[in-house]
């Protein structure tokens, strides 16, 4: 198992955090001990760990109060850390406009509609996300 | 009409000579031809004269008085009866030099006399004089006719122009009277806007003022946001470009209410004076309708957003959990519980499809509304 990266779950809905973490841990992913219930905390986390060379896969919700997923992406892309941070958008939204908008961000490797399927995560395990 | 030189006209003039004595005819023809007259008709039978005159009008008639069938007097008398021939110069050829016969001939309408035997110079001179007088008279008459024709033509032209102007006037009057927009005339070129001095019937309905009341008002009274500076700019624009200015202004109607009106200004010259015409169309209801539509659209957007994002979130949670139960626990379930779970699972996926369809429809409606409302 290629656990050279950590997964961070960002969602304002604690039940989704619970479900996502539960599935990830069950499948043996290296889940970061911290999960974030709002985007500001995630941004804070990356600001504090600017020099870190660790690799992160973020499961990012889009619509959150105060700071939304798009703003997080703007922040991440402004850092230019495309090699160490990848994003999978995981949203309840079925608005097609969101999917189109997601194409503008290089950090995004996939766009998922909730619920997050176990089968998808199983498939993810065999992929090389970070070269 | 082509004008010929006078001398040419005189020499080409048609001359009729009637005398029962052939020698007189020969003599007169010779004398006249020698003087350059070449257009002569003559006869010794005086009965031919009147029929001939019906077909042709000579410039002069030389006529003998004493002839066997009809006397010169009678011929002159019948010629003068004909109003067309009353200016025909008649030169009487007579040997009778008594004043009585002369008076009788003059009374009947003869113009001059040549007494026999003829004096050659006298013949030429008399004929020339009478023809000259006649030709000049003709030319004068022709000129009069030409002048009359010109006057007539000009009058007809002026009448046509007047008719056209009246027609146009009527045409524009109909437009003016039947327009649904208020149309008011005033003067913006002075120190400050003048009172309105003309308006169409629609004005009274739109503004609630009578024509007389409007005569005591100016744009200052009607424009709720009137300022001298603003109207100075309008004046500048109207005088620099001869275009129509389209604006949206709040216009105060008689009830005191300010209504939103499409307001256009045009500058035009009427009788050497610059006048301003303002057209008003009450669009308050239209604007309100658009606002209502925009508001409804906003609410609709919110509902659409809410159902595609917020409503779906708890559903997605349920679907997630149901999937987990299905994956992890279904093998341990009894048949009954498994069929209940299947109902819950199918229902949640059905609801998911419904939400997706509503979301798609609202996206389509959204983009259509955006196009319609610009």
Say if B241 is an interface residue toward chain A (CB within 8 Å): no
Radius of gyration of chain B (CA): 52
Sheet holding B198-199, edge to edge: B198-199, B182-186, B273-282, B258-270, B245-252
pLDDT digits 0-9 by tens, A82-102 = 888 999 999 998 888 889 999
CATH for B181-282, options being 3.20.20.70, 3.40.50.300, 3.30.450.20, 3.40.228.10: 3.30.450.20
Dihedral class, residue B128 (left if φ above 0, else alpha if ψ from -120 to 50, else beta): alpha
Å between A90 CA and nearest CA of chain B? 11
Size of the A and B interface in Cβ pairs below 8 Å? 56
Angle at B138 between CA B1 and CA B119, to 5 degrees: 130
Find the mean pLDDT for residues A93-117: 91
Q: Which residues of B touch A16 (CB under 8 A)?
A: 316-317, 320
Q: Would the CB atoms of A93 and B320 count as touching at under 8 Å?
A: no
Residue A13: its chain B contacts at CB < 8 A?
A: 313, 317
Which residues, including other chains, have CB under 8 Å from residue B134's CB and lie 6 or more apart? B13, B59, B60, B87, B88, B89
Per-residue pLDDT, B117:
86
* The pLDDT of residue A33: 80
pLDDT for res B303? 86
Q: Evaluate whether A40 touches A67 at the Cβ level (below 8 Å).
A: yes
- What dotted CATH number matches B6-143? 3.40.50.2300
Domain ranges of chain B: 6-143, 181-282, 287-373
Per-residue DSSP letter, A36: B
For β-strands B15-18 and B60-64, DSSP reports them as parallel
- pTM listed for this prediction: 0.51
Give the closest-approach CA distance of A114 to chain B in angstroms. Answer: 5
Chain centre distance of CA B258: 40
Assigned token pair, A37: 């219930």
Q: What is the pLDDT confidence band of residue A1, given thresholds at 50, 70 and 90? A: very low
Q: What is the mean pLDDT of residues A60-87?
A: 91
Give the residue ranges of chain B where pLDDT is below 50. Answer: 1-2, 374
Question: Could you tell me if B325 lies within 8 Å of chain A, comparing CB atoms?
Answer: no
**Which of A95, A96, A117 minimises the CB distance to B309?**
A95
CB-CB under 8 Å, A117 with B323: yes
Tokens of residue B322, six digits: 């149901």
Q: In Å, how far from its chain's centre is CA A67?
A: 15
Domain at B287-373, CATH class:
mainly alpha
Partners of A63 on chain B (C-beta within 8 Å) are 309
**H/E run at residue B205:** helix B201-207
How is residue B79 written in tokens? 């010629």
CB atoms within 10 A of CB B252: 18
Instruction: Tell me if A96 and B360 make a contact (CB, 8 A cut-off).
Output: yes
**A63:B323 CB<8 A:** no
pLDDT of A69 strictly over 90: yes
Taking the C-alpha atoms of A104, A110, A113 and A116 in order, what is their torsion angle to the nearest 10 degrees? -150
């Amino acid at each position: 198992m290629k656990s050279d990266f950590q997964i961070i779950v960002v969602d304002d809905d604690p039940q989704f955090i619970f479900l996502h973490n539960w599935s990830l841990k069950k499948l043996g992913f290296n889940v970061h001990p911290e999960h974030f219930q709002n985007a500001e905390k995630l941004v804070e986390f990356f600001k504090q760990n600017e020099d870190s060379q660790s690799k992160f896969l973020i499961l990012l919700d889009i619509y959150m109060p105060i700071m939304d997923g798009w703003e997080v992406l703007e922040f991440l892309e402004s850092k230019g850390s495309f090699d160490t941070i990848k994003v999978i958008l995981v949203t309840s939204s079925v608005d097609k406009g969101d999917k189109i908008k997601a194409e503008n961000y290089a950090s995004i490797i996939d766009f998922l509609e909730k619920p997050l399927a176990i089968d998808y995560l199983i498939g993810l395990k065999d992929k090389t996300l970070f070269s | 009409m082509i004008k010929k030189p006078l001398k040419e006209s005189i020499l080409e003039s048609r001359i009729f000579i009637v005398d029962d004595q052939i020698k007189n005819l020969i003599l007169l023809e010779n004398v006249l031809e020698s003087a350059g007259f070449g257009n002569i008709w003559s006869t010794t039978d005086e009965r031919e004269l009147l029929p001939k005159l019906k077909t042709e009008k000579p410039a002069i008639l030389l006529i003998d008085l004493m002839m066997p069938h009809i006397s010169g007097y009678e011929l002159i008398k019948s010629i003068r009866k004909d109003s067309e021939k009353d200016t025909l110069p008649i030169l009487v050829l007579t040997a009778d030099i008594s004043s009585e016969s002369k008076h009788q001939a003059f009374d009947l309408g003869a113009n001059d006399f040549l007494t026999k035997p003829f004096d050659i110079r006298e013949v030429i001179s008399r004929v020339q004089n009478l023809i000259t007088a006649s030709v000049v008279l003709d030319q004068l008459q022709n000129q009069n006719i030409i002048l009359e024709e010109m006057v007539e033509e000009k009058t007809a032209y002026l009448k046509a122009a007047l008719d056209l102007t009246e027609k146009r006037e009527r045409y524009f009057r109909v437009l003016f009277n039947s327009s649904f927009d208020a149309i008011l005339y005033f003067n913006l070129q002075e120190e400050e806007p003048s009172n309105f001095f003309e308006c169409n019937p629609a004005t009274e309905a739109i503004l609630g003022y009578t024509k007389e009341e409007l005569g005591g008002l100016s744009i200052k009274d009607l424009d709720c946001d009137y300022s001298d500076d603003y109207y100075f700019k309008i004046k500048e624009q109207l005088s620099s470009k001869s275009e129509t200015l389209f604006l949206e202004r709040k216009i105060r109607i008689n009830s005191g209410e300010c209504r939103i009106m499409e307001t256009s200004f045009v500058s035009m010259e009427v009788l050497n004076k610059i006048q301003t015409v303002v057209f008003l169309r009450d669009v308050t209801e239209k604007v309100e309708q658009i606002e209502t539509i925009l508001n409804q659209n906003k609410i609709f957007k919110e509902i659409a957003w809410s159902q595609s994002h917020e409503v779906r979130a708890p559903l997605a949670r349920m679907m997630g959990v149901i999937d987990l139960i299905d994956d992890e626990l279904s093998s341990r379930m009894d048949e009954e519980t498994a069929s209940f779970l299947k109902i819950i699972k199918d229902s949640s996926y059905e609801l998911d499809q419904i939400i997706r369809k509503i979301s798609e429809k609202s996206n389509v409606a959204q983009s259509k509304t955006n196009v319609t409302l610009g």
